[in-house]
Structure 1
Amino acid sequence: MSHTTGAGREAFTATEARTYWDRRHAESDDLASGGNISMSRAENAMFYAVRTARLLEVLGTQSDPASPLRVLDAGCGQGHFSRAIASFGHRVDGIDTSEVAVAGCRAAAGPLESYAVSALQDWSPSHLYDVVVSIDVLYHLMDDREWEASVRHLASLVRLGGRIGLVDHQADADRAWSHYQKTRAASRYRAVLEECGMTVERFVRNDFRDDPAGMHVAVRVA
């Protein structure tokens, strides 16, 4: 079901959103397709570098070739963060609803990378993860039911003692910015994650220019 956003346009349905992102991945370069379309390629390269550094705050700086972390990159797009995670020595699964993006990821995949077409709430792996991350994805889910189901499902895929990192804003209220972007209050993330047996540890800000986004980080305790 669609609804009118603050910008006065009908919000994307799930089907419309998938069509939009498939087209964007097909027509945009590897950085702009999942980055900030108002930035130049050089600016997006800097933005990705900053966010990769923030990602390390969630993954940690240890790497053991004999026992790599299992990581899920939920909404991997064209695989920039998945490839970075694999380069750190971790085993990563990347999922995305865009067949175009996943095809490109598979073509360039290394031995520690695996990719599949799947919505966040539908992914059904044979194992739990040490870390689950979803970067710049959840605030593109316009339907609140799909958003909550996705957060709950991703949390269910984290092993005891494992972590989850979900990118959104750290705001006190929900806000629809456009027909394909809606941020949710930090209190909503905390409430859902705590109901799923997790403790929210911190919010890791991107800290790139005036970007207000960052990662809600939680650990499974039950």
Structure 2
Amino acid sequence: MADRTMPRDSARAYWEARHAEHDELTSGGHIGLDRAGNELFYAQRLGTLLSLIGDLSSPTAPLFVLDAGCGKGHFARALARCGHRVDAFDASATAVDHARDRGGGPRYAVATLDEWRSAWPYDTVVCVDVLFHVPDDEEWAAGLRNLASLVRVAGRLIVTDEDTGRRTPRGAHIVHRPLTAYRAELEPLGLRHTLSRPYGFRENRVGFHVFTRTR
């Protein structure tokens, strides 16, 4: 049975408050770390993310990248600086307003994971530390399937979670799901799991999972 301890409206209210009350890094990073710790946490994740996306972008043929659940836009701006054409969205209007004020190239919008639509598919869709903050299983699956639908053939979907071996709730705001749960949703849609890479940051057990669209 789906865990409904955190309805969508309550989750949105939680993130609105968190983005309003905390700075750019803490609001979307590790709430238990100080500023310096979050600087390191963001830098390490960004370095790994960029290595997974690759350096195939160019001024004449930039990669088309979606940052799903972008928060205040830290990763989206970094991807834009690296020459990629970036769309980014988040369910928090407070976070998106902050991201727009910072500018830096990405196109921002307010949407949930299952709401976002695009007229064109993306080369890469990234969703960093977002899906395990969706406690409801049906909402999680709907969001994941929608993200998959946005990836072009031979493109990649990059998501993050622990590979716990089983569904593992942690309080009202977090549910970690194993890689097998992601594969069960994505493989029927034509996305094959091609790589996992842990963060390797302190005690954090989350890592990147890369899925490549084969059809």
Superposition TM-score tier, normalisation by shorter sequence: over 0.9
The structure 2 residue matched to 1:145, chosen from 112, 117, 138, is: 138
- In structure 1, distance between residues paired with 2:198 and 2:59: 29
Contact 1:58–1:163 (CA under 8 A) maintained in structure 2: no
Deviating above 3 A after TM superposition, structure 1's stretches of 4 or more consecutive aligned residues are 1-4
The alignment status of 1:170 with 2:170, answered yes or no, reads: no
The structure 1 residue matched to 2:185, chosen from 169, 186, 192, is: 192
Q: 1:108 maps to what in 2?
A: 102
TM-score for both structures, normalised by structure 2:
0.97
- In structure 2, distance between residues paired with 1:58 and 1:119: 24
Structure 2: runs of 5+ lacking an equivalent? none
Contact 2:57–2:84 (CA under 8 A) maintained in structure 1: yes
TM-score for both structures, normalised by structure 1:
0.94
Q: 2:195 maps to what in 1?
A: 202
Alignment of 1:39-188 (within 5 A): 39-110=33-104, 112-188=105-181
| Alignment deviations for residues 86-110 of structure 1 (CA, whole Å, 9 cap, x no partner) | 0110011111010000011111112
| Alignment deviations for residues 16-38 of structure 1 (CA, whole Å, 9 cap, x no partner) | 01001011101100000011111
Secondary structure of the residue aligned to 1:119 is coil
The structure 1 residue matched to 2:212, chosen from 187, 204, 219, is: 219
- In structure 1, distance between residues paired with 2:43 and 2:166: 29
Structure 1: runs of 5+ lacking an equivalent? 5-10
- In structure 2, distance between residues paired with 1:73 and 1:158: 12
Figure out how many residues of one structure are paired with residues of the other and give that number. 215
Cα distance, 1:20–1:2 mapped onto 2, change above 3 Å: farther
Cα distance, 1:157–1:2 mapped onto 2, change above 3 Å: closer
* 1:126 Cα deviation from its structure 2 partner: 1.4
Q: What is the RMSD computed on CA atoms of the aligned residues?
A: 1.4
Secondary structure of the residue aligned to 2:27 is coil
Cα distance, 1:2–1:16 mapped onto 2, change above 3 Å: farther
